[in-house]
Amino acid sequence: MKRVVIIGGGPAGLTAAYELLKDGNGEYQVVVLEESDTLGGISRTVRYEGNRMDIGGHRFFSRDDSIMEWWEELLPIQGKPAYDDKVLKRKKAWKKNGPDPEKTDEVMLLRERVSRIYYKNTFFDYPVTMSWRTIRGMGFLTTIRAGFSYLGACIHKRKETNLENFYINRFGKVLYRMFFEGYTEKLWGRHPRDISADWGAQRVKGLSIRAVISDIFGKIFKKKNRKVETSLIEEFWYPKYGPGQLWELVGKKIEEKGGLIRYHHCVKKINVKDGRIESVVCDTGRGDMEFAGDVFLSSMPVKDLIQGLDGADDIKPLVKKAAIELPYRDFVTVGLLVNRIELENETSKKTLGNIVPDCWIYVQDRGVKLGRIQIFNNWSPYMVKDPENTVWIGLEYFCNEGDKFWELPEDKCVKFAIKELCKIGVIKKDSVLKSHRERVKKAYPAYFDGYSHMDDIIEYLDKFDNLFCIGRNGQHRYNNMDHSMATALEAVSLIREGKTDKQAVWSVNTEASYHEKK
């Protein structure tokens, strides 16, 4: 029996553990080491006084059918209307013989995707569409300027040496400055010209004005098998109680199949001998514990992994320095329960309380630090204790661990957030009923500084035959949840086959053919 040690109880680590155990043939002894007291990583669900917060927002949609099947096997698609569907008399393509969300909890909901940009007190579709609403919001002259700017970008392509050039090539300079420059700088704390184009290649490489226009004509002419970018999808799946519900269920099944999950186990040292990982040492808060293993899967931040290696005497100074300099962006979510929001629902989409139908609202206003607003009512009515009479929103702030905003006491952070929402006209101060803050470390691996030597880091890590780096932080790659799962599935496949070439694991979400078109 092989002993497999998995570092991290997020989507990648839990997927790997479940896959190794689900056949039940006893070939693997699996232990998952989780630093916190909750499974799911950034895909967890936070509970607060009967309301739930989705940290970061997670649409369940993938180009990879095996991932979709994996999700559906655990949480079947709804076969009857959910609470808001019933109240609003919505019609959807319910799954035949699927569960009733009003009678069971283990169910995936079918949700409508609406995300918009809030810019100068006006809503714009995200991604930007060629609609009358867009033209009216931008103004006729700006629309003409944007059109010529885009044509110019098509004729004179820039060398994609940075993220700024990547965006301008796809949208033109006018749209780039309106809808991408400010938000990107908020997100990363760096100007797009200082960020590698790799981020765009992995997140939005198929998205452009051309893709938007192609999608519009695909709808008009009802083109069969049309490919749709993830950012253009109109419907997605969502667990009744948020993404954490799925990962808590996976954790339960892992334990039922004999796997061990150890909470509050923070890996601080990785023991190396003769070019292999022998064991890891965890700080448990009650003393250190060592876990030996035959195979190790790591979803811990690459920076911490490299710095924790003990007994590895062949690390080049370049690799050590690059790992130390690998940057991350942290973020703070402020949850506000309000009795009403001031934004009017001017769409044709029906919602409980007639609130705006958005899942996310991207805030482009440079006058506020706020980056994005989530409206949890629209993700799932079951995320909110009283979805008809209250609105539960999450305000996302991008920052760095230890900076002034990160260190704000919770009451001052909440006051700051309320003041900003009032400033841009989303709420009135007296509408706030409750609040809660969550701080998330290393939420976004960043693409500058030490990242320029990521290939050298990968080359070094691949020397350890029994080490597989998986997941967002495990690969220092801004992966979606399905991509993180795919890295785990690739790693498990290699482990089963006894192979040590990690190329398939590192290649997830890098090749053009994999990107999320469906």
Classified as helix, coil or strand, 131 is: coil
Stretch among 79-93, 231-245, 280-294 having the lowest mean pLDDT: 231-245
pLDDT exceeds cutoff 70 at 222: no
pLDDT in tens, 19-55: 999 987 889 999 999 999 999 999 999 999 999 999 9
Is pLDDT above 60 for 489? Answer: yes
**Residue 259 Ramachandran class (φ > 0 left, ψ -120 to 50 alpha, else beta):** beta
Per-residue pLDDT of 313-329, as tens digits, reads 889 999 999 999 999 99
Tokens of 210: 């051309």
Q: Where are the beta strands (DSSP E) in 244-294?
A: 260-262, 266-273, 276-283, 288-292
* Beta strands at 235-239 and 260-262: parallel, antiparallel or unpaired: unpaired
- What's the pLDDT tens digit per position in 345-375? 988 999 999 999 999 999 988 899 999 999 9
Which tokens go with 164? 């700024």
Is residue 460 over pLDDT 50? yes
* C-alpha to C-alpha distances, 298 to 7, 65, 270, 468, nearest whole angstrom: 5, 25, 11, 6
pTM assigned to the model: 0.90
Average pLDDT value over all residues in the chain? 91
Q: Is it the case that residue 516 has pLDDT exceeding 50?
A: no
Assign 8 to helix, strand or coil.
Answer: coil
205 has a pLDDT exceeding 90: no
pLDDT digits (tens, 9 = 90+) for 399-415: 999 999 999 999 999 99
pLDDT on residue 365: 86
87-114 residue pLDDT tens: 999 999 999 999 999 999 999 999 999 9
Give 410-422 as a DSSP string. Answer: HHHHHHHHHHHHH
Q: With 90 as the cut, is the pLDDT of residue 394 above it? A: yes
Rounded to whole angstroms, how far apart are CA atoms 432 and 213?
41
Residue 142 has pLDDT above 50, yes or no: yes
Model confidence at 512: pLDDT above 50: no
What's the Cα-to-Cα distance from 476 to each of 309, 340, 386, 437, rounded to whole Å? 17, 39, 39, 26
CB atoms inside a 10 Å sphere around CB 120: 11
**pLDDT tens digits along 147-171:** 899 899 999 999 999 999 999 998 8
pLDDT of residue 56: 83
What residues have CB less than 8 Å from 252, skipping those under 6 apart? none
Euclidean distance between CA atoms 172 and 176, whole angstroms: 6
Contacts of 485 by beta carbon, 8 Å cutoff, 6+ apart: 11, 12, 15, 67, 70
Classify 180 as helix, strand or coil.
coil
Bridge partners (DSSP) listed for residue 358 = none
